[in-house]
Structure 1
Amino acid sequence: MQDKNFVIVGGSHGIGAGIVRRCVERGAKVTVLSRGIGELADLPGVRHVPLDVTQRGPTADELPDSIDALAYCPGSINLGPLRSVTEQTLRDDFELNVVGAVRCMQACLAGLKSGASASVVLFSTVAGQQGLAMHTSVAAAKGAIEGLTRTWAAELAPKVRVNCIAPALTATQLSERLLATDEKRQAMAAMYPLARHGEVDDIAAAAEFLLSDASSWITGQVLGVDGGLSSLRK
């Protein structure tokens, strides 16, 4: 990763910030596109560009001329029963997760194609593979992300690889209400074969692998990083 150009969208908090830290530690030149600077305030060597992906994509002058890797990290956790899901919630989740990803991918495409090879990582959810109640809106939006992963991987091969990570519940600012008490944390841990919820670095480590040359023969895949929830039963 030394001296390579990485673009991390939504890299100021949570999983995105974890990816930024790992990439910086390995010598990458990182541009972060996000609404605020968040957890990056104490991290030197990161270029921050203010961007709300629900309003627009990045412009050419906000991006490196050549892009070796792109991670699109924005997400939402809007949970609730089917009867309470509103059209506005569906539109908001789709705008953030899907339309935002398309905007950023289109803006970064020339930079991704400019070198010998490049890698893209998108984010889905365990609810895309494992049917989970109360996940109507997020499962719909992230299901679309899995579709984009495969179609972009097919369209952009062989120069650009596109993969997706599907995490389960991970301890971030976004999920703090679901892990707010010892009782909630214990109840969540009991759902997983590996007996704990995810931590940011569990996901960031997988993203680092997929963004790096170590995964140079992997494309079009959805990688579950979910403590075994999507595939195992105890």
Structure 2
Amino acid sequence: MQKTILLIGGSYGIGASIAEKLKDSHQIIIASRSNDNIPKDIIHLTFDVLKDDITSLDLPKKIDGLVYCPGSINLKPFKMMRPDNFNEDMELNFNSLIRVVHGLLPKLKNSEQASLVFFSTVAVKVGMPFHTSVAASKGAIEGFAKALAAEYAPKFRVNVIAPSLTDTPLASRLLNSDSKKEIMAKRHPLKKVGSTEDIAAMAAFLLNDESQWITGQIFGVDGGLSTLNIN
């Protein structure tokens, strides 16, 4: 059954891979600042999560799937972080997500069973140096998703994907040479850095009916990093 799926910030990286994977079987709408590289058969609406109101967009009355893609990777020693840095990460990663979901509630409720997919990070489950800000804001997403899933079951399914380092434009400074990619790959039991397709495959599964008995879960798509110690 064809669904209407809204990607927030899906014009590149993981969001673009999700759109590419689903565009032949579902109606895909991308709401983002940029329309670069978006296929012609995908609807694009200009939207900035930090500035714009989601209710102002010309969206269908029914939304079956929602994916929130915007995020930050702000990795610094805690002593070099300012409270404003935490506020900025929380605003992008969490507060803007809340505004989007709240504004879309009527349209999500019109679906037979809406599927919401959010993104966290492996650093919430596994304590990592220099991740204090991103782990804090993404940890808020995990708690929110479980509570939302409980409150709106069975009308909504809400799940979270928690990747390890993935080769996206957002992570480019961490993976901008072959030597860096090799070092990062060796940290993972599967000895590779994640690809956008790895994450998109899980997102597509959670958006489709094959996952209709799954909600309130945090999925570690992380090359085994969060659960395996093989060193």
Give TM-score, length-normalised by structure 1: 0.96
Work out whether 1:230 is the aligned partner of 2:187: no
Residue 77 of structure 2 is matched in structure 1 by 81
Distance 1:55 1:61, change over 3 A: closer
What root-mean-square deviation, in Å, do the aligned CA atoms of Structure 1 and Structure 2 show? Answer: 1.0
Distance 1:73 1:61, change over 3 A: closer
Quick check: 1:57–1:100 contact (8 Å CA) kept in 2?
Answer: no
- Aligned match for 2:37, one of 35, 39, 53: 39
Quick check: 2:55–2:104 contact (8 Å CA) kept in 1?
Answer: no
- The 1-side partners of 2:73 and 2:199 are apart by 17
Residue 87 of structure 2 is matched in structure 1 by 91
SS of match in other structure, 1:59 = helix
Quick check: 1:7–1:69 contact (8 Å CA) kept in 2?
Answer: yes
- The 1-side partners of 2:73 and 2:37 are apart by 20
The number of residue pairs the alignment matches comes to: 230
SS of match in other structure, 2:130 = coil
1:198-232 per-residue CA deviation (whole Å, 9 max, x = no partner) reads 00000000000011111000000000000000000
SS of match in other structure, 1:122 = strand
- The 2-side partners of 1:5 and 1:37 are apart by 19
Alignment of 1:144-183 (within 5 A): 144-183=140-179
Distance 1:88 1:38, change over 3 A: farther
How far off is 1:33 after superposition? Answer: 0.9
Quick check: 1:8–1:72 contact (8 Å CA) kept in 2?
Answer: yes
Moved over 3 A (4+): none
- The 2-side partners of 1:214 and 1:152 are apart by 21
Work out whether 1:49 is the aligned partner of 2:45: yes
Distance 1:60 1:133, change over 3 A: same
Alignment of 1:65-76 (within 5 A): 65-76=61-72
- The 2-side partners of 1:156 and 1:39 are apart by 35
Unpaired runs of 5+ residues, structure 1, are none
142-151 vs 57-66, greater mean Cα deviation: 57-66
How far off is 1:32 after superposition? Answer: 0.7
Residue 203 of structure 2 is matched in structure 1 by 207
Quick check: 1:117–1:160 contact (8 Å CA) kept in 2?
Answer: yes
SS of match in other structure, 1:30 = strand
Residue 26 of structure 2 is matched in structure 1 by 28
- The 1-side partners of 2:88 and 2:37 are apart by 24
How far off is 1:62 after superposition? Answer: 2.5
Unpaired runs of 5+ residues, structure 2, are none
Amino acid at match of 1:212: N
Residue 117 of structure 1 is matched in structure 2 by 113
Residue 12 of structure 1 is matched in structure 2 by 11
SS of match in other structure, 2:71 = coil
- The 2-side partners of 1:65 and 1:73 are apart by 22
How far off is 1:57 after superposition? Answer: 3.0
30-39 vs 156-165, greater mean Cα deviation: 30-39
Quick check: 1:63–1:108 contact (8 Å CA) kept in 2?
Answer: no
- The 1-side partners of 2:111 and 2:146 are apart by 21
How far off is 1:61 after superposition? Answer: 4.3
Quick check: 1:56–1:103 contact (8 Å CA) kept in 2?
Answer: no
